Amino acid sequence: MFGKAEKAGSGVGKILQGWSDQNWKRPYLRISNKPDKVELHLYLESILPNEHKQKLYKIFGKDCQHWEPDKLMVMALACTNAEISNENLQFILPSHRADITELLRRLKGEGLLESDGYGRGTRYHIPEHLIQRSVTPQTPEVDKATKNRITLGEIARPNRKTSEKSARHKRKTHEETKRAILDFTSGAYRTADEIAKYIGMTNTYAIRTFITPMVKESKLQKLYPQKSNHPFQKYTKAKD
């Protein structure tokens, strides 16, 4: 009778809507026999990691938490990745490819996303002026993992310090850069975007020249090894 009658299950729609509005994981229905039981599992867990929320709020303000769930998820991914695509989003959105395409076009029309490419090769990213608007002075780094990382603020407003860092990265040999990546990913999972910024290179170049070869050499391992295009893909130093 789940959702099929006025008396039995009439409040389930409100429950599902409430969980959706809070961006919590979708409730799970379980039916068992002997004894007969119908259980509705309600997860008080957000579908968005806190780090994604913080980046989203920093750029768009906390009013964005009232966006529809699919829109919120798409923009959160765009905030934490250099670019997103329809193919990436199919891993996490319960929508058809055509519906995702329409959503991306709508977000582009609202000025929240910009696109590159055509057809299935289209990639989307947050406009640079929105990122620059959110940049604030960075607090001093205190841990080894984030030491010497190039921040969004430094990328948006190059200065002498940033130039000196970039120059040092450019002088590094191929093997030195690989060792720097292993040091940065030791004991922690990092996104391709984080690794690229750390070594002072573009996302595409870092993936093609270092990350992908190092995965094949078993020097790096993926968080989601079975799904190379997973939107939350991260890398860590492989265990010896």
Q: What is the pLDDT of residue 219?
A: 92
> In terms of residue numbers, what domain contains 155?
141-237
Question: Whole-model pTM?
Answer: 0.44
CA atoms within 13 A on the CB side of 89: 30
For residue 79, what are the CA distances in angstroms to 84, 140, 172, 225, 235? 10, 22, 29, 23, 18
For residue 24, what are the CA distances in angstroms to 14, 18, 75, 232? 14, 9, 16, 17
State the pairing for strand pair 114-116/123-125: antiparallel
User: Is residue 197 domain-resident?
Assistant: yes
User: Is residue 187 domain-resident?
Assistant: yes
User: Is residue 135 domain-resident?
Assistant: no
Q: How many helices (H) and strands (E) does the chain have?
A: 12, 6
Residues 55, 106 within the same domain: yes
Residues 81, 97 within the same domain: yes
User: Is residue 36 domain-resident?
Assistant: yes
Residues 26, 56 within the same domain: no
What is the spatial distance between Cα 144 and Cα 147, in angstroms, rounded to a whole number?
5
User: Is residue 136 domain-resident?
Assistant: no
- What average pLDDT values come out for the chain (240 residues) when binned by 10 residues? 58 76 70 83 68 79 80 82 81 81 91 85 85 58 44 42 46 84 90 87 84 91 81 85
Write the single-letter amino acid at 170: K
Residues 187, 99 within the same domain: no
H/E element, 55: helix 50-60
Domain count, the chain: 3
End-to-end CA distance of the chain: 54
User: Is residue 218 domain-resident?
Assistant: yes
User: Is residue 191 domain-resident?
Assistant: yes
Specify the CATH number for the domain of residue 120: 1.10.10.10
Residues 39, 69 within the same domain: no
> Where does a domain end: 130, 164, 199?
130
pLDDT, tens only, 160-173: 444 444 444 455 78
pLDDT, tens only, 53-70: 777 888 888 778 778 878
Q: What is the pLDDT of residue 142?
A: 43
Q: Are 13 and 21 in contact (CB under 8 A)?
A: no
Residues 80, 114 within the same domain: yes
Query: Which DSSP state fits 24?
Result: B
> Where does a domain end: 130, 153, 178?
130
Residues 125, 162 within the same domain: no
